[in-house]
Structure 1
């Protein structure tokens, strides 16, 4: 392979690969991403949920509307930028978490920097006690949903025997430019009360996620499945390695196995998506099944994974220098989320020559 370059054709990026002087192949490329939007709540007090936890609701009523509009602009800017440097397009599909309701998503995709992308929305209300949900946004020209479902996580506190209400797992099956793929969007239970004490909740979430994947693979062992989200665990934790049975190396992933391209970024490079108590955690990940690793590029395959941690998303000084710049820290002057987004590139040979 002598060269690799990108060029934009009708809003799609193709990768031009010169195999030799006589042969040239071109590849379409799309970004698939995930972003925890950290408390994307509107400015209206909803008494049916605990939205008082939102920084916007902690402000005076005169400032809430302005803060909400700023939050929308900032979230839209980030989404528009993810993958744009290489693909000249925003993500074809992007999973999001910590959204209050469908209306905040409608407002988000209608922001000026996103409205021309014509994003569709897949969203279900979850039983989470804070009222936060997960959702999938997709460019209608590129991805066509076929089936959607929400999968409830039933877990109970060992000491009280009461149910722990958390986010459902969202499954969307659809066609990315004609290729059938299945996408699961997650936001697993937090580490509230400590990692060890809350571990069983995330292990249970991992088992549910694996059950969804197993069910899809029972119908088609070659199913192309993406599972993404804020897992509130690192790539090396039990929920990943034991419940999900993830692999860090491509050549160790068997047919029904799951590849985690972020594990080595965490173990070998020390990278993270969120910081806490002077330490990085890599809670946000995108994993996928073995068929995405095949070398036949007649359908979409995995090309690259990364953390979107551009300078404008980080604190520039003080105790949290280098960590994600949160709106709660920056107030009306700016701020984004306490998590960096993550992304993968999928490529497919372009048959239009």
Structure 2
């Protein structure tokens, strides 16, 4: 009798565990700042002279090809610890033009993924744009638009932004460009893409917010405007569909704690704090732990972030939901020696690296039907 009872318990435990075993569809959503991803041809409309064979970077075909090969290696591997497929979506920044992207997706490590490209030229004077790559077999775009951020030099929403900064606070290649005619500050557009991921509507916004040129505090109002624009875009989507699933990602040039993210966008760092129509930022918790995607003077920060709307936090998994997030910082992406040991391995005159940023990513999952 005791033997039969023991067998019954084992049967019940086995049945319970079997019922809990479910199969899921997983998609990786990644963002990467490609850092100065220029071709070798001088474009007279933008400031790309340094990135030509005759420029200060001596940027020739051999270096360009190596840069693309390096980027392709990274992009093909992001998120593969949990999902063997490369990212379904890749948001990118610091991209010169469509041709660069066409050359990138033809790289041996990416060509079999059959990526589509959504890209617009932005008014940024360095000629660097944002773009979205997507796997055509997984995602079918239905609409896409570049939404400009209009800022003017005389706009200073916060008085504290007028405080002087120390010279090191403004060390950046991304110089703010101001029109002499109307004082407009030219920066990257925000790219909004809508489409169907395995039959389910998803909205994706790709960002590269204004830099910290001139100092963090002095330039903060511009990023706060970018955050407010991002929030406006999301609001418009949620007005059409209260259950709209929105992912916003990019190089924000701000941490998860800055006003542009916390106030302009209204992102929360804890899931339980996210209200209906709100935004969750999983990278706030990582920043609290001291992790980073970019380093400056031996201090780490997370400028690269992927955030999701509350509609992606339901946890029923009958539809696509947020699962978890990460920073892709494998050893081959890290400087091994010298002054910048431990930093992201970027390009120099003697070595073709990857980027001064680490990529970031999230997973979306849904029960298999």
Residue number among 331, 344, 348 corresponding to 2:366 in the alignment: 348
Which residue of the partner structure matches residue 117 of structure 2?
A: 121
Contact 1:222 1:255 in 2 (8 A): no
Aligned-residue offset at 1:19? 5.8
User: 1:41-190 alignment to 2 at 5 Å?
Assistant: 41-54=38-51, 57-60=55-58, 64-158=60-154, 162-190=183-211
Which residue of the partner structure matches residue 15 of structure 1?
A: none
Over the residues paired in the alignment, what is the CA RMSD in angstroms?
1.6
Matching of residue 325 in structure 1 with residue 322 in structure 2: no
> Any stretches of 5+ residues in structure 2 without a counterpart?
1-14, 156-177
Count of residue pairs the alignment pairs up: 329
Q: Which has the larger radius of gyration?
A: 2
Residue number among 296, 311, 334 corresponding to 1:291 in the alignment: 311
After superposition, the Cα gap between the structure-2 partners of 1:59 and 1:295, relative to the gap in structure 1 and judged at 3 Å, is closer
User: 1:189-268 alignment to 2 at 5 Å?
Assistant: 189-267=210-288
Which residue of the partner structure matches residue 31 of structure 1?
A: 28
Query: Counterpart of 2:17 in 1: which secondary structure?
Result: coil
> Any stretches of 5+ residues in structure 1 without a counterpart?
1-17
Separation of aligned partners in 1, 2:306 and 2:51: 26
How does the TM-score come out when normalised to structure 1?
A: 0.90
Separation of aligned partners in 2, 1:153 and 1:19: 54
Contact 2:105 2:111 in 1 (8 A): yes
Query: Counterpart of 2:102 in 1: which secondary structure?
Result: helix
Separation of aligned partners in 1, 2:189 and 2:286: 28
1:206-239, Cα deviation, whole Å (9 max, x unpaired): 0110000000011111110000000000000000
Aligned-residue offset at 1:58? 2.4
After superposition, the Cα gap between the structure-2 partners of 1:116 and 1:193, relative to the gap in structure 1 and judged at 3 Å, is same
Query: Counterpart of 1:25 in 2: which secondary structure?
Result: coil
Contact 2:116 2:134 in 1 (8 A): yes
Separation of aligned partners in 1, 2:211 and 2:246: 24
Aligned-residue offset at 1:344? 0.3
